[in-house]
Structure 1
């Protein structure tokens, strides 16, 4: 049984057990909560303690790898520039779509209130300071203090400055630093793997408390969350079609036919890497030269997750609205930037790992609590399918667009094909 399946089952069993306990043995709820709540809190704390070193290490190694790839050639540089623009637009789309979807189909008031009361340690981080104070605090006067206070935006700024400064030092020093932070990253991933291995225990304890306090409304709230986040991801994924048609100047039916096998692999495996052979074949069917797809597709799989910023930011916004955190346009702008930057460092990670490491900084940046992630990670399976599907679609769309503007461009669609 996969790790994600075990955690999901623990969530379901915990919620059912908590609901049954409240219904048939209400007098024992307080005693059970006194035991389960510390267990859930301890597991959640263990998960959160890995975020700061992992985010810093991922950003530094991610920026270093991206800079190295950009220097590999003109095509790689153009590809990376396009990826960064799309990642930012992906985050911006979440800032627009998530509040819109929640306005159209809001989370039931009673369920939201019950879940707020039931969630362990899910207090608001606090109001966002005035713009002047916020800008002044972005640059940390003490990076150790920023890490201790989980000031993720300050840590991200420091990590980016450090990573870009690395590119200016001697090759031997740069290699040593990259090796060090790679070792830190790999070590933290091992620690997270251990924490997620006992995840069913922690998630069961969290779900037991939520089920006992929130009742059956917890199930409806989680389904609402899944559908909302998946809707944001699907909307971003569908943008691959106009990008391929107008950017790559290729017939819509030709793109759909070429992308279908890769989409099937993506849905069945939830892995962009496993979809790479099918993507290469699909690119060939669209007339993309191997000299282009052989560079852009592996690069996209390595550093590009088009749905990541949108869906990560959507989760943070969902939690903020759920816990009644006010979201101003300035706050959403900051969140979009943080979502873009963290997505660059969280690529090629298992879904449960990237879920926590990429979303926690975004949630903190907009003032939303991080604690609900310990419960929501258990229902990431369906949104993760949407993530992978959209990533594969965007990988192919950007590849055909880059091929259209490359030195060995593909034949332009004409006549009936252009309007199919």
Structure 2
């Protein structure tokens, strides 16, 4: 059975069984035990997965003179669209405030247990009050001890170090450079396999976490979760149907409607698999055969985009972190929200193109703003359907990048959305 169907069944069973379970039974203790194991497994893979992905990506990008005009244009586009996506999500989540119900923080109805005093104390370490605190964000990007940063979960410093290490590793010539790059690629692929292994237990972990919440709160958690889901969907729609089409129209000179139709097979594949990496071969076919972009441009822009361009993921991470902060009743200032924007932008680079990998990245943001990582259990309730949607957005943004960059390189083409492409079966 496909993983997403397993998760749907687990969610339904969790709601039904949790509603008839009492807190003082051994079943509730079992929910806590299994849920904690699953969350611990997610935390375990954070540092190696993020670091190895970023280092490997940067090394590949910098190797062989890829950071030329085409490379800079591509990275500039990816950074810009990801920033737009994050700001859209940040704006909407501040308007809808899904973590607030009837003027009160929804933490209790969502079964979020945390000491408010301890939370506020932790938050003050990163919540800026003025210009000096804003500069402290950048100071924390350069850790004095990389090992201590890893053990302390200071991911902002680890991400910066990984970017730096990967960039210069790509410039090491000869056998030493090859060994280093092969080693990092091997670590990255190994961590993807471990992540896939952990996610095989997602139905069990989601069942335990949802059943635990329903047992304690009943159905009071439904309202804020629906508002959160609505916020993410609307934000993704605005980015996909407004921002990206405007870029296509005014920079690429292409009809957004026709391009959307041309990329529909790849977007459907992305939606069904929730994996931009698995969709990459079909994305390249659609861009080359249906959108008419040259093989030279698409073969560089699209593989890079499948690794570092995650508009939908970055948007989701930002909304999720704000939602959890609101649920805990924390007032996040401008500087703290700026921290969320920066961390979401950086971590989106290192998110593996596999289903639910963004859950790992969200733990990075929660740690950066001082929120308990256990709160990630909340997001598992709606994650699968939102994961499918944000992956489709990621793929469409990659395709828009290929068209726009090809246009700026002087390429001319004719859209052919009728060209037949085979739709691969889901793994």
Residue correspondence of structure 1 range 372-383 to structure 2 within 5 A: 372-383=375-386
Backbone CA RMSD of aligned residues: 3.2
Distance 2:376 2:406 in 1: 39
Is contact 1:236–1:310 with CA below 8 Å preserved after alignment?
no
The answer to whether residue 260 in structure 2 is matched with residue 266 in structure 1 is: no
Which segment drifts farther, 292-301 or 143-152? 292-301
CA deviation vs aligned residue, 1:77-96 (integer Å, no higher than 9, x gap): 42233222222332233222
The answer to whether residue 313 in structure 2 is matched with residue 300 in structure 1 is: no
The answer to whether residue 54 in structure 2 is matched with residue 59 in structure 1 is: yes
Paired residue for 2:123, among 114, 120, 127?
Answer: 127
Distance 1:333 1:292, change over 3 A: same
The answer to whether residue 334 in structure 2 is matched with residue 333 in structure 1 is: no
Paired residue for 2:350, among 345, 369, 381?
Answer: 345
Paired residue for 2:396, among 373, 393, 397?
Answer: 393
1:111 CA displacement = 8.5
Matched with 2:238 is 235
Distance 1:243 1:202, change over 3 A: same
Aligned partner of residue 150 in structure 1, secondary structure: coil
Distance 2:65 2:72 in 1: 4
1:107 CA displacement = 4.5
Is contact 1:319–1:369 with CA below 8 Å preserved after alignment?
no
Is contact 1:301–1:395 with CA below 8 Å preserved after alignment?
yes
CA deviation vs aligned residue, 1:159-192 (integer Å, no higher than 9, x gap): 2232233234344333222222333333333333
Is contact 2:107–2:329 with CA below 8 Å preserved after alignment?
no
Distance 1:380 1:185 in 2: 24
CA deviation vs aligned residue, 1:263-315 (integer Å, no higher than 9, x gap): 34433444444365366445655554444344433443344222221122221
Distance 1:406 1:383 in 2: 35
Distance 1:269 1:371, change over 3 A: same
Distance 1:405 1:36, change over 3 A: closer
1:245 CA displacement = 0.8
Is contact 2:11–2:206 with CA below 8 Å preserved after alignment?
yes
Matched with 1:40 is 35
Residue correspondence of structure 1 range 14-413 to structure 2 within 5 A: 14-22=14-22, 29=24, 31-68=26-63, 71=66, 74-102=69-97, 106-107=100-101, 112-118=106-112, 124=119, 126-129=122-125, 130=128, 131=133, 134-238=137-241, 239-272=243-276, 273-274=278-279, 276-277=281-282, 280-281=285-286, 284-348=289-353, 350-352=354-356, 354-410=357-413
Aligned partner of residue 12 in structure 1, secondary structure: helix
Distance 2:211 2:260 in 1: 44
1:136 CA displacement = 4.2
Distance 1:208 1:271 in 2: 27
Aligned partner of residue 193 in structure 2, secondary structure: helix
TM-score between the two structures when normalised by the length of structure 2 = 0.82
Aligned partner of residue 371 in structure 1, secondary structure: helix
More helix by share: 1
Aligned partner of residue 407 in structure 1, secondary structure: coil
Aligned partner of residue 324 in structure 1, secondary structure: coil
1:213 CA displacement = 0.9
Q: How many residue pairs end up in the alignment?
A: 404
Matched with 2:2 is 2
Structure 2, unpaired ranges of 5+: 416-427
Distance 1:33 1:303 in 2: 40
Distance 2:62 2:225 in 1: 39
Distance 1:3 1:191 in 2: 16
Which segment drifts farther, 84-93 or 308-317? 84-93
Distance 1:297 1:195, change over 3 A: closer
1:241 CA displacement = 1.1
1:408 CA displacement = 2.9
Which segment drifts farther, 180-189 or 338-347? 180-189
CA deviation vs aligned residue, 1:354-396 (integer Å, no higher than 9, x gap): 1222211122222233212234235322112221222232223
TM-score between the two structures when normalised by the length of structure 1 = 0.84
Structure 1, unpaired ranges of 5+: 23-27, 413-420
